[in-house]
């Protein structure tokens, strides 16, 4: 892809007002969406991994939905929920809260598509870590909250971080739902992917150059996040960690 970037034009292109606005908006909204995912996703993952109830499978499928929905359909689903005439939107609207065409709508769209990544990473890790350490903590007198804070979460921290990174990446690239649900206005709702999409109408090469920034940001974030190493095998003695590799 780098081959198709028109390098002499690169700097002016990416420093253009619209590109900068889009990049900043994207970073801001993606970070907020990631935070939202963590807030909502951690309890969700805990419920999925640590409890069992009727309808749990359904809940898991629902959490996965945004992965399968073509993005535009996801946007439609959001509209039907949070839109002015939607399920919740009507009540919100009555309270004077308008979501459509605001930056909030962008964050919601991004969080909607990014949530499954966090929940899935975390649920998997919670299941793998198992409940043995939590049980030990409980027999030592720790309450649920203490066990969660001092045992469960630290144990799954690497998965939490990598889930958050995935969420961030997905939020950063989110396009269809934002387009459908939030609209596209420079500085308010036109994120970098929307800017790319728009540029593509007139100049596909410019679009590729802009995507390149997106990719760079994502690569940087992923690179930083992968410094958070998992705790070996979570085993008391992991001599094998230094296993010889002839």
Ligand X SMILES: Nc1ncnc2c1ncn2[C@@H]1O[C@H](COP(=O)(O)OP(=O)(O)OP(=O)(O)O)[C@@H](O)[C@H]1O
Q: Residues interacting with ligand X, by CB under 6 A?
A: 237-239
**The dihedral of CA 142, 229, 30, 63: what is its sign?**
negative
d(CA 157, CA 180): 34
What does the buried/exposed string (b/e) look like for 9-20 if buried means 16 or more CB atoms within 10 Å of the residue's CB? Answer: eeeebbeeeebe
Q: Which residue from 156, 165, 148, 151 is spatially nearest to 123, judged by alpha carbons? A: 156
CA atoms within 13 A on the CB side of 142: 16
Binding mask 40-59 for other proteins (x = CB under 8 A): --------------------
From the CB of 67, what's the least distance to a copy of itself, in Å? 5
Q: Which residue from 198, 180, 194 is spatially nearest to 72, judged by alpha carbons? A: 180
Look at residue 41 and give the partner it binds from other proteins, ligand X, a copy of itself, none, a contact being a CB closer than 5 to 8 Å depending on partner kind: none
Q: Using the minimum distance from each CB to other proteins, give the nearer residue, 47 or 234.
A: 234
Residues, the chain, total? 246
Q: Using the minimum distance from each CB to ligand X, give the nearer residue, 1 or 239.
A: 239
Look at residue 137 and give the partner it binds from a copy of itself, other proteins, ligand X, none, a contact being a CB closer than 5 to 8 Å depending on partner kind: other proteins
Binding residues for other proteins, per CB under 8 A? 72, 76, 79-80, 83-86, 89, 93, 98, 100-101, 132-133, 135-143, 146, 150-151, 154-155, 157, 179-180, 182-186, 188-190, 194, 197-202, 204, 231-232, 234-246
């Amino acid at each position: 892809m780098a081959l198709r970037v028109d390098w002499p034009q690169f700097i002016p292109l990416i420093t253009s007002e619209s590109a900068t606005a889009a990049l900043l908006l994207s970073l801001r909204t993606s970070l907020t969406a990631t935070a939202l995912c963590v807030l909502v996703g951690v309890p969700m993952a805990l419920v999925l991994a640590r409890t069992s109830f009727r309808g749990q499978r359904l809940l898991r499928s629902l959490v996965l939905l945004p992965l399968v929905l073509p993005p535009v359909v996801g946007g439609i689903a959001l509209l039907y929920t949070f839109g002015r005439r939607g399920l919740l939107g009507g009540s919100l609207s009555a309270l004077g809260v308008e979501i459509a065409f605001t930056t909030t709508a962008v964050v919601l769209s991004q969080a909607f598509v990014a949530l499954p990544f966090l929940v899935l990473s975390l649920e998997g890790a919670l299941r793998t870590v198992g409940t043995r350490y939590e049980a030990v903590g409980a027999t030592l007198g720790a309450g649920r909250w203490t066990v969660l804070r001092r045992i469960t979460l630290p144990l799954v921290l690497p998965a939490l971080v990598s889930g958050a990174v995935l969420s961030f990446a997905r939020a950063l690239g989110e396009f269809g739902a934002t387009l459908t649900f939030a609209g596209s206005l420079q500085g308010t709702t036109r994120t970098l992917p929307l800017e790319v999409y728009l540029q593509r109408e007139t100049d596909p090469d410019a679009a590729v150059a802009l995507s390149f920034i997106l990719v760079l940001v994502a690569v940087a974030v992923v690179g930083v996040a992968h410094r958070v190493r998992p705790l070996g095998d979570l085993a008391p003695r992991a001599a094998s960690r230094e296993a010889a590799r002839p």
